[in-house]
Amino acid sequence: MSPVSGSCRGIRGWHRICNNTVLALPAASSSGSITNRKLHSVHTGSRPQPAYPGHIPLSPFENTLLAVGSALMSLIDTRRADMVAACGETTAGSTLIKLRDIMLESPEGRRILKERPRINSQTLDLEKLRSLPENTFGRAYVGWLDTCKVTPDSREPVHYIDDPELAYVMQRYRETHDFYHALFGFKVSALPELALKAFEFSNLGFPMTALSLGASLRLKSPQRARLWTEFVPWAMRCGSHATCLLTVYWEERWEQDLDGIKKELGVWDPPPGITIPRPSHADSP
């Protein structure tokens, strides 16, 4: 994962590119200069004020430019968390509205949208989670953090989604991604990450999660074959069968039995080889 400072520099750099693109257009005549000044006014002079801390409003042209650029950069260097995040935001479109509406239809989802909990080292009591019994969700989550040497503070803030409520939906997805890792016990490496992205596409529908499967070209041939013949079929079936995971108030389920959660949500373990071993596993329906 990219350091936060590097990610911020990358995001600011892309925003400068968006802002300066119109200024780079050549002015062949005085009338052309006038046109360029008008375009500059349209793209920058009338830019709306940020709707929440960290918000960077984009015009449709800027959003498209950032979507294409961040998608390419994400495929070139999958460690660029800032570019993966920007791609997710600029390509989300109506998916966020659909997910928000699904959350509103669920009692847990409605409370999440109302209370807007955040997931980081300040809001989580990791020592308390370490004291929970084996095979509880909280113990599995903190065990996953410790085994994979991951911190809950590693997720990028949302910048490019205009509506504050939809921006929170994206932030919630981003911050609960590691819960999905813990739920299935996925390792932190390319093959299990792509398998989880396929599951997220089936369950949540974010275009970025489907686009990320293009990174399978970087896998070795045997891994790529397993991804498409074993893990993607599992992900499509399991994700479409499962409850929408954004409606789950995970922070209230720390003490719940892990296998019980899987059964309740309608998920089951993936094919072997990409997970951290556990004492027990949920069976496939």
Q: How confident is the model over 191-221, as pLDDT tens digits?
A: 999 999 999 999 999 999 999 999 999 999 9
- Helix H, strand E, coil C: the string for 216-266 is HHHCCHHHHHHHHHHHHHHHHHHHHHCCCHHHCCHHHCCCCEHHHHHHHHC
Residue with tokens 């045997």: 222
Q: What is the mean pLDDT of residues 58-65?
A: 95
The pLDDT value given to residue 123? 95
The mean per-residue pLDDT over the stretch 119-140 comes to 95
| Spatial contact of 273 and 225, defined as CB atoms under 8 Å apart | no
Average pLDDT over residues 37-49: 55
Which pLDDT does position 175 carry in this prediction? 96
Query: What average pLDDT does the segment 35-54 reach?
Result: 63
The single-letter DSSP state of residue 1 is -
pTM above 0.75, yes or no: yes
What's residue 284's pLDDT? 42
Average pLDDT value for the chain: 85
pLDDT beyond 60 at 244: yes
Highest mean pLDDT among 30-34, 71-75, 243-247, 277-281: 243-247
DSSP H helix total and E strand total for the chain: 14, 0
pLDDT at 45: 55
* High-pLDDT (> 90) share of the chain, %: 75
Q: What is the mean pLDDT of residues 24-46?
A: 41
| Single-letter amino acid code for the residue at 143 | G
How does pLDDT run across 218-235, given as a tens digit for each residue?
999 999 999 999 999 999
Q: How would residue 117 be classed by pLDDT, with cut points 50, 70 and 90? A: very high
Predicted pLDDT of residue 245: 98
Q: Three-class SS of residue 279?
A: coil
Do 254 and 132 touch, CB atoms closer than 8 A? yes
Q: How far apart are CA 23 and CA 214, in angstroms?
A: 33
Where residue 279 falls among pLDDT bands split at 50, 70, 90?
Answer: low
pLDDT at 163: 97
